[in-house]
Amino acid sequence: MEANLVAPLMFVVVFLIIFSGFPVAFALGGTSLLFAFIGVEMGLFDWNLLYAMPERIFGVMSNYVLLAVPFFIFMGLVLDKAKLAEDLLTTIGTLFGRHRGGLALGVVIVGAMLAAATGVVGASVVAMGSISLPVMLRYRYSARLSSGVILASGTLGQIIPPSIVLVVLADQLGISVGDLFVGGLVPGLMLAAMYGLYVVGVAVVRPEAAPALPLEMTDLDWRELLRRVVVVMLPPLLLILIVLGSIFAGVATPTEAGAIGSVGAILLAAARGRMSIAVLRGACVGATKLTTMVMFLLIGSTAFALVFRGLYGDIWVEDLLTTLPGGVVGFLLVANLTIFVLGFFLDFFEIAFIVIPLLGPAAALLGIDPVWFGVMVGMNLQTSFLTPPFGFALFYLRGVAPPEVKTTDLYRAVIPFIAIQLIGLMAIVQWPWLVTGLVD
């Protein structure tokens, strides 16, 4: 085997193992050891390089930035188990349901609020799917529109801060989480607005697909409606304002804001009379499981990166990406296509830990703004939750959808929303100030 082919082959082998269904963290670690042995036998790698592994693992475990991940996950799970989404959907459905498409528009608004309050896609999709989807189908909403708007709105937590994706991307790109949160705010809200415009357009062009709710469902005294809005919407909005406001104002780091948000979520659940040992235990267990998965992926990707660089794979990737035809445009095209295609098969964590460490240095060499690049990647990664056959949001909704909603309906339902996401992606590529305007 030629020496210059070892690093590319390592990249190919790890993806073949992942696509075979083997756990990603162990696929990364196992491939690293295998190619470390091959590299030693070929005189390309020195076992002494692996002495750096314990120090790198300690660096991962003591990373202050990544401490924000369990805090934000815990905050989202507490709010989910305290039935926040149920209250929001009921109230906003009553508020907008009297208009054509109003219930679907309400789902978009709740999706954006849950994204800013929780950032947990699975919780948002399951909550909206179990509460709103049966009601929308009962009142003759199109199954595709209903499913599509729930799936798309549920994934807004990947780009609207405080997003777990943005925290991980900031760590992998070596940039400020706060800057990435500020940069992701406008694109995230823009995406939610585009979903809303699509719903309004469907309601106008095909009114039978998004009818208004019966009058008896929405005919409430204005005082009662106002009371519901104040009681249900103001507390989560206040929590969002405290968490994001403290980050944007520079008063707290994202990790500190995550801790504040976790305490705030507990107080909010207690104020609603829904805080219990069961809720607290469920949130702790869920946060621990997801955080453990992230840590194992990080350790596996650290081993992979160490051996890959020891085999000069980083130089091969940089040369490959920085010499593409078209310069920056060619690099962005290849990077976005790679992430989009991998999103059909891999989870966003896996893409972030395997691909981004390879793309980041090449982007820096080409002079690309790292905050803008991070938000662009985050928006692209959002599509990985919707793209069949392995989009996780599809699995979440399939688990709670009524039997009359077929899996093929879900696959077709996401097509217009994936198109909207790609339009949003092209918008921030065309107009970078959508990301950098607030950061600068």
Contact 68, 258 (CB under 8 A): yes
According to the model, what pLDDT value does residue 222 have? 67
Mean pLDDT of the chain: 82
Contacts of 309 (CB under 8 A, 6+ apart): none
Residue 373 pLDDT exceeds 80: yes
Percent of the chain residues topping a pLDDT of 70: 94
Lowest mean pLDDT among 214-223, 252-261, 289-298, 413-422: 214-223
Residue 387's pLDDT band, with cuts at 50, 70 and 90, is: confident
Residue 83 pLDDT exceeds 80: no
The secondary structure of the chain, three-state, reads CCHHHHHHHHHHHHHHHHHCCCCHHHHHHHHHHHHHHHHHHCCCCCHHHHHHHHHHHHHHHCCCHHHHHHHHHHHHHHHHHCCHHHHHHHHHHHHHCCCCCHHHHHHHHHHHHHHHHCCCHHHHHHHHHHHHHHHHHHCCCCHHHHHHHHHHHHHHHHCCCCCHHHHHHHHHHCCCHHHHHHHHHHHHHHHHHHHHHHHHHHHHHCHHHCCCCCHHHHCCCHHHHHHHHHHHHHHHHHHHHHHHHHHHCCCCCHHHHHHHHHHHHHHHHHHCCCCCHHHHHHHHHHHHHHHHHHHHHHHHHHHHHHHHHHCCHHHHHHHHHHCCCCCHHHHHHHHHHHHHHHCCCCCHHHHHHHCHHHHHHHHHHCCCCHHHHHHHHHHHHHHHHCCCCCCHHHHHHHHHCCCCCCHHHHHHHCHHHHHHHHHHHHHHHHCCHHHHHHHC
Lowest mean pLDDT among 11-15, 80-84, 351-355: 80-84
Residue 424's pLDDT band, with cuts at 50, 70 and 90, is: very high
According to the model, what pLDDT value does residue 2 have? 64
According to the model, what pLDDT value does residue 164 have? 81
Task: Locate the domains of the chain by residue range.
Answer: 3-439
Residue 207 pLDDT exceeds 60: yes
Distance CA(394)–CA(411), nearest Å, equals: 8
What digits encode the pLDDT tens for the residues 290-301? 888 888 888 888
Q: Taking residues 76-89, what's their average pLDDT?
A: 77
Residue 1 pLDDT exceeds 60: no
Residue 219 pLDDT exceeds 80: no
Question: In degrees to the nearest 10, what's the CA dihedral of 221, 225, 226, 230?
Answer: 160
Q: Taking residues 151-165, what's their average pLDDT?
A: 84
Contact 362, 394 (CB under 8 A): no
Residue 411 pLDDT exceeds 70: yes
Q: Taking residues 366-387, what's their average pLDDT?
A: 87
Distance CA(248)–CA(266), nearest Å, equals: 23
What digits encode the pLDDT tens for the residues 223-280? 777 777 777 778 888 888 888 888 887 788 888 888 888 898 898 888 888 888 888 8
According to the model, what pLDDT value does residue 8 have? 83
